[in-house]
Amino acid sequence: MKICVIGLGYIGLPTASILAVRGYEVVGVDIDKKRLKEIKNLSFKTTEKDLLTLVSGAIKSGNLEVKDKPEEADVFIVCVPTPLKNKKCDLSYIKNAVESIKPLIKDKNLVIIESTVPPGTCEEIYKMINKDIYLAYCPERVLPGNILHELINNDRIIGGINKESAIKAKKIYESFVKGNIYLTDTKTAETVKLMENIYRDVNIALANEFAKIAEELNIDVWEAINLANKHPRVNILKPGPGVGGHCISIDPWFLVEKSKEAKLIKTAREINDEMPIYVANKIKKLAKKTVTIFGVTYKGNVDDTRESPAEKIIDELLKDNYDVRCYDRYARDFKYPLLNLEESVKDSELIVVLADHDEYKNFKEEDIKRIGKLMKRRVIYDTRNIINKDLWKNEDFKIYILGGKND
């Protein structure tokens, strides 16, 4: 059986590689020729454990080829981005992908959509193709930094345009998924994917609102959340500088655009969207000109900078002509230049920790001493509450924590 995977990004590449290793003939397609070259040469940057090894094995087996145009196949899997545009889902990438494979699709072929979409999108795609095909929706449910493990071990939801479509898609995923596979219709599956990310977004918004309240009341939100979570039915998440990534920060809007009843969801999204501005305003009170950003990825120990709060915070600081330096050894691509540690802290008035990379948690005394000697003022603002406060205090750093007590 031949499978054509459209889109070789965070999900498409590992999915195509796993299928190839499982014995399928796979053609991976991407319009980014630089990306294709990096995949062929195994020179792409990734923080995903064992991904390079997997892709290498898939290519060397002869079962995976990567190309810039789709080919005829028995199964087509679409894994392209669905970004946010004007608070609505931009379906242009997915529609372009479908148009590119439409001439190649034959009757009884199976088309699987993995991209996150608003409810009802698969029904529209089915009408677009307008052939006697099987169509299913199978959203990814993975955590960046642990994608391979979760692709294999997590439960999967498969929604079919009809029952037979769901069953046919299940046979594909059964070849590598060890978790349970649940079947439903496409619109339910589309909604389930959004609900999963909305659940976390709402919880994070609650934590962020608690952080603001804690600063107003002069209490430590981290202690308060820890104590509240001692209750057997309470699990408040951690506050932070904003929500990033291609899922939680975007997906809630896909449901808001489809429902007038998504009031709590909309409010939560607005709270989280406002956090970078809240943090930027705090930074402006702590530094007059030069600021160092530690961590521009949207979360710790990953290379993904999509929708990162760091970008929005920096944008706000640049509006007031701040000199902003960024340090992040994990980041793959970023809007602003990335410097080494020494360059980023030289003559800086303030370090702002935005991503909870292990590196920042594990700075040693000699590291902090070296940093302090290079800075103009020894001040650090930790929006993730991860630094070793005692070590930084020992080097005469003034420490501020998001949601922490005021001095």
Catalytic annotation, residues: 193, 247
Q: How far apart are CA 88 and CA 254, in angstroms?
A: 6
Which residues are paired to 290 by β-bridges? Answer: 323
Q: How far apart are CA 300 and CA 288, in angstroms?
A: 28
* Per-position b or e across 304-327, b if 16+ CB within 10 A of its CB: bbbbbbbbbbbebbeeeebebbbb
* Per-position b or e across 19-45, b if 16+ CB within 10 A of its CB: bbbeebbbbbbbbeeebbebbeeeebe
- For the chain, the maximum distance between any two Cα atoms, rounded to a whole number of angstroms, is 71
Q: How far is CA 165 from the centre of its chain?
A: 29
Residues 96, 73 contacting (CB under 8 angstroms): no
Q: How far apart are CA 350 and CA 290, in angstroms?
A: 7
Q: How far apart are CA 97 and CA 100, in angstroms?
A: 5
